[in-house]
Amino acid sequence: MTHTEKIEKAKAKLMLEHPYIGSVATVLRLDDNKETLTFSSDGVSLKYNDEYFEKAPLDEIEFALANGAMHAVLKHQERINDRVGRIWQAATDIAVNSMLVKNDFVLPPYVYYDERFEGMYAEEIYDVLKEEMVYNDTLDETEAPTPDDVQSEEGKETRDSNSDSGKESSQVSPPTEQVSLEEISMEELEALQEELQEHFEQIFQKFSRQGELPKGLEMLVPHYFSHKIHWREMLYRYIAEFTKSTYTFLPPNMKYLYRGIYLPSLSSDLLRIVIAVDTSGSVDESLLATFLGEIESIMQSYGNYEIDLITADAKVQSHRVFFPGEMLDYTVSGGGGTDFRPTFAYIEREINYPTLLLYFTDGMGTFPESEPSYDVMWVMPEVKEVPFGEVLVLE
């Protein structure tokens, strides 16, 4: 098997076993570079030696791709500030490899890893490494140390025990040593970084919604978890996905119609969703006005839609289907207690092939015990625990 075949197989394996990491790896820039002994990442590209990849087992190539993918989302260049460069590089190496260990990756014998730092941010790891070097009087900020210089004695013994000879040991370099991109202009590099980060944000949001993010990712890229996206932007991103995967029987799928098989056709621009509005007594007029205002805004944002609008408190009060051009002219009724179960039962009974339910509510009510077959987003004024679906907080 050639090294290119190994790379493709490793990518496929990552997509299957670690979909978030695999998705990032597929957009990673790969650079076959003879000057690299094994592989290295600069946060933009993964440099690798094809001779090393030709001989390496598949799990090492899978690890190399995962390592490069995580360094790409790490943004370590932006977070370095005034830190000593190579200590920071060592800290990011440990943070990345610790996360990969937590997600059951097999570490090659030469990688830089120290279990003392499990569950720590790269910034915290950096502080510990720097303190150790100051204590041992080995820190020279004019000549920044390599990751080998700050590796613990335990780490050195582990690496040495995996080397058969001094010659082999001298050929082993930390897999994420900083490299330059002289062949790329600064303008091209900035454009590439911006494009990659846009891809990474989209990948993160997708797998965050699906609950398939790797363990410990928040330690590696805390900016993803602290970054505040306006709730309305998040809502519209979520809705937009369903304009490309909506099925309708009008018109039907013509491919099998001549055989008497009546199947739905895929519409690329029809937004077909169900919206439920909590009209119980705990939802005041101001919050209810916010709910209805967002529904009207959704209708104005999409030219082709079919929206089933349901109002409910402890029971379903009303149901009406809205099509393009219709005004949101609606009589709101309710005011009782809150029970979400009748709404889900009604949708199951009365609405064909629901794909997405947006439930505008304050979250104070009785939830169904079982999760429905369609996606659910609870739109609430504050965070509440829900048994299924996602919560979007109106800020």
* pLDDT tens per residue, range 189-229: 566 566 666 667 677 767 766 677 788 777 666 655 554 44
How wide is the angle at C-alpha 126 spanned by C-alphas 124 and 132, nearest 5°?
Answer: 110
Residue 24's pLDDT is 84
Tokens 């690798």 locate to: 48
Residue 369's pLDDT is 92
Q: What is the mean pLDDT of the chain?
A: 75
Do 213 and 285 lie in a common domain?
A: no
Do 351 and 262 lie in a common domain?
A: yes
Beta bridge partners of 30: 46
Residues in Cβ contact with 304 at an 8 Å cutoff, skipping those fewer than 6 apart: 267, 269, 270, 271, 324
Comparing 44 with 244, which gets the higher pLDDT? 44
Is residue 274 classed exposed, middle or buried when 0-12, 13-18 and 19+ CB atoms within 10 A define those classes? buried
Residue 366's pLDDT is 94
Q: Does the structure show a pLDDT above 60 at 354? A: yes
Tell me the percentage of the chain whose pLDDT exceeds 90: 22
Arithmetic mean of pLDDT, 292-298: 82
Tokens 């460069």 locate to: 85
Among 87-91, 124-128, 143-147, 362-366, the least confident range: 143-147
Tell me the percentage of the chain whose pLDDT exceeds 70: 67
What is the number of structural domains in the chain? 2
CATH number at residue 314: 3.40.50
Do 373 and 241 lie in a common domain?
A: yes
Among 10-14, 117-121, 143-147, the least confident range: 143-147
Arithmetic mean of pLDDT, 139-144: 50
Residue 168's pLDDT is 32
Do 242 and 183 lie in a common domain?
A: no
Residue 248's pLDDT is 46
Q: Does the structure show a pLDDT above 90 at 343? A: yes
Do 282 and 209 lie in a common domain?
A: no
Q: What domain range includes position 219? A: 3-226
Do 157 and 27 lie in a common domain?
A: yes
Of 196, 226, 256, the residue that ends a domain is: 226
Comparing 151 with 357, which gets the higher pLDDT? 357
Of 226, 243, 266, the residue that ends a domain is: 226
Do 335 and 195 lie in a common domain?
A: no
Do 109 and 237 lie in a common domain?
A: no
* pLDDT tens per residue, range 252-273: 545 444 545 444 444 445 778 8
Residue 376's pLDDT is 92
Do 345 and 236 lie in a common domain?
A: yes
Residue 146's pLDDT is 39
Do 25 and 171 lie in a common domain?
A: yes
Q: Does the structure show a pLDDT above 70 at 348? A: yes
Do 117 and 145 lie in a common domain?
A: yes
Report the C-alpha gap between 75 and 133 in whole angstroms: 25
Q: Does the structure show a pLDDT above 60 at 341? A: yes
Comparing 145 with 359, which gets the higher pLDDT? 359
Among 10-19, 55-64, 300-309, the least confident range: 300-309
Do 314 and 267 lie in a common domain?
A: yes
Residue 340's pLDDT is 96
Of 226, 250, 272, the residue that ends a domain is: 226
